[in-house]
Chain A
Amino acid sequence: MKSLLAVLTVLAVIVGLWYAACVPMNIHGVLVAAERGGAVVEPADGAARRGMSGVSLALKNRFAVPETWAQERPRLPAPHQVAIELWDTTVMKKITSKRSLVYHGWVTLSATLLGFGIGTVLGVLLAVGIVHSRVMDMSVMPWAIVSQTIPIIALAPMIIVVLYSVGVQGIIPKAVISAYLSFFPVVVGMVKGLRSPDAMQLDLLRTYNASQGETFWKLRLPASMPYLFASLKIGIAASLVGAIVGELPTGAVSGLGARLLAGSYYGQTVQIWSALFGAAILAACLVGLLGVIERLVLKRMGMA
């Protein structure tokens, strides 16, 4: 209860700061528009205004302050503008419409989920191999760890173009990017998890004369579940980023990344912010969903 109150307070402070920041960010544009509309603006000279800070301008022209929260193309849209745009483009539009954020979100989400699925399966398989083969462990594992420190997302534009030139397009290139971004966290986490049973437990199974397969199914795999879920949460967030970045270089026409890019070309700031929040909500839902699954699975296994 106390922490809920604290979270709400922090959120309220953030929203308050956001509204306050809109004033100095947008005041220049508002005053130009007001001057054109015939209002008396304090320093009448446009060049003089450009040199002044937003705060002092706002203090001299108090009448213009409410306008900074209602501009058509503000430098920083106010929270309610973003919320209205989000509402309009999700609930009010038909899902199949090109202007619906749900449609764009689904384009990105489908690539994310496909890639995440592929990356997770491959990652788990490689981890199983690494745990059971000393050669693979010593050869592959150092590279898997090093690969975590390099910005593999830099490969994204190239993958899109290469796959395009061999005739693959649509959802697959984005899914490939998502897959390799979620692959390495899953490998590293899963190896850690499969190794987490301690010597005592492994010895117990040896005294039962358990085969390697039985040890895997009855001890290693169940023991790895908490680690798997931790890395799945990292993996799905990375997958989503991958799918969004994968939409940038080709000038894709649909998807959240395409909305971001189109918004930045045409100065539609409200559209950028709503796409950004759409992506954030999507990421939060995916991570939250994994959290729910994690809790259910661990509860059924008696681990939580």
Chain B
Amino acid sequence: MLVLVALLVWGAAWWLNTRLAEGPQAGTRPVRLAVPLIFGATILVVWELVVRGLEVPLVILPAPSLIAARFAGSLPILWADFVQTFVKGALSGYLIGCGAAFVMAVAVDRSEFLRLGLLPVGNFVAALPIVGTAPILVMWFGFDWQSKAAVVVVMVFFPMLVNTVAGLRETTAMQRDLMETYAASYWQSFFKLRLPAAMPFIFNGLKISTTLALIGAIVAEFFGSPTLGMGFRISTSVGQLALDMVWAEIVVAALAGTLFYGLVALIEHHVTFWHPSQRR
């Protein structure tokens, strides 16, 4: 019965979206926002109805309402986990890793030889499954957030390095010659020409790194952690078959990831306002 309702809701929402997307107002901002929101809400409603209609047990798929209730009911736990994993582990590692990679990139950029040697190595390492270093780093730095931050540092370092080095090469010979004719020193031409020109690349690296940072911090907790943290909560709640808690934790991870990425994208929008991709 409820499953039938779910099918009806799906059909109705799809019809509504079709009308909106192919209607006269399709290009306007409210419609562009409304269509994905309607789609998302429909999925939630259908999920709820199907789970209730088929009486799917909690250990397989909890209904969204249950997840929401669990989310609202355990805010203190979720907040503590968020602080442990995101603020202490991911964020500190992200800042250290990206900062170190940036400094390294500036140093590398001064030497043609180093750049030739380091870029292929960096590109290679950036494609490797670096999360695998988690057990080693947990062994070295202990169970607390320091080891998670270390994993994050290793994970974000190479993507950031490769992007920054590529960005610092972005200026054309004409632009560099112009700085030369101004008798600009190395650092003047660095700050006034090459760093601004590198910004789109740097922000690309920063954006890739936001997701990697969260992944690193969460996966590292699977190898050992104090009794809090998002990865810890996920793995223990899975063991207790408390899947509503797992889903609540995933909601937190999704929100944290999206907001983190959004924040970096917002800063990028203000810093690289001159770049074609940011212009309206």
A and B: bona fide binding partners:
yes
Which one of B30-38, B91-99, B161-169 is at the A interface?
Answer: B30-38
Q: How many chain A residues have a CB neighbour from B under 8 Å?
A: 59
Instruction: Say whether A154 contacts B231, CB under 8 Å.
Output: yes
Please give, as numbers and ranges, the residues of chain B lying within 8 Å of A157 by CB-CB distance. 222, 234-235, 238, 246
Complex-state Cα separation, A256 to B116, whole angstroms: 32
Q: Name the residue among A138, A256, A263 with the largest chain B CB count within 10 angstroms.
A: A138
CB atoms of B59 and A7 under 8 A apart: no
Q: Are A7 and B117 in contact (CB under 8 A)?
A: yes
Cβ–Cβ contact A283 & B136, under 8 A: no
Let me know if B124 is at the binding interface, CB within 8 A.
yes
The residue that B114 contacts in the complex, of A6, A137, A148, A249, with Cβ under 8 A, is A6
The chain A residue sitting closest to B131, CB to CB, is A241
Which residue on chain B has the smallest CB distance to residue A161? B238
Chain A CB within 8 A of B230 CB: yes
| Selected contact of B241 from candidates A135, A150, A161, A267, CB within 8 Å | A161
Report Cα–Cα, A242/B135, bound state, in Å. Answer: 16
- In contact, A260 and B132 (Cβ under 8 angstroms): yes
Beta-carbon contact of B135 and A10 below 8 Å: no
Q: Does B64 contact A (CB under 8 A)?
A: no
Chain A residue at minimal CB-CB distance from B123: A287
Cβ-defined contact, B218 with A153, below 8 A: yes
- B275 CB, nearest partner CB in chain A, Å: 18
Q: How far is the CA of A3 from the CA of B31 in the complex (A)?
A: 52
Chain B CB count within 10 A is highest, among A137, A155, A245, for A245
User: Chain B contacts of A155 at CB under 8 A?
Assistant: 250
Q: List 17 A-B contacts (CB under 8 A).
A: A6-B116, A7-B120, A11-B121, A134-B21, A135-B35, A138-B21, A139-B36, A139-B39, A140-B39, A146-B258, A149-B210, A150-B214, A154-B249, A157-B222, A260-B135, A272-B135, A280-B132
Not counting A7-B116, A280-B132, a sample of 13 additional A-B residue pairs whose C-beta atoms are within 8 angstroms of each other reads: A135-B18, A137-B21, A138-B35, A143-B36, A143-B39, A149-B258, A150-B214, A154-B218, A161-B241, A233-B127, A264-B136, A264-B139, A276-B132
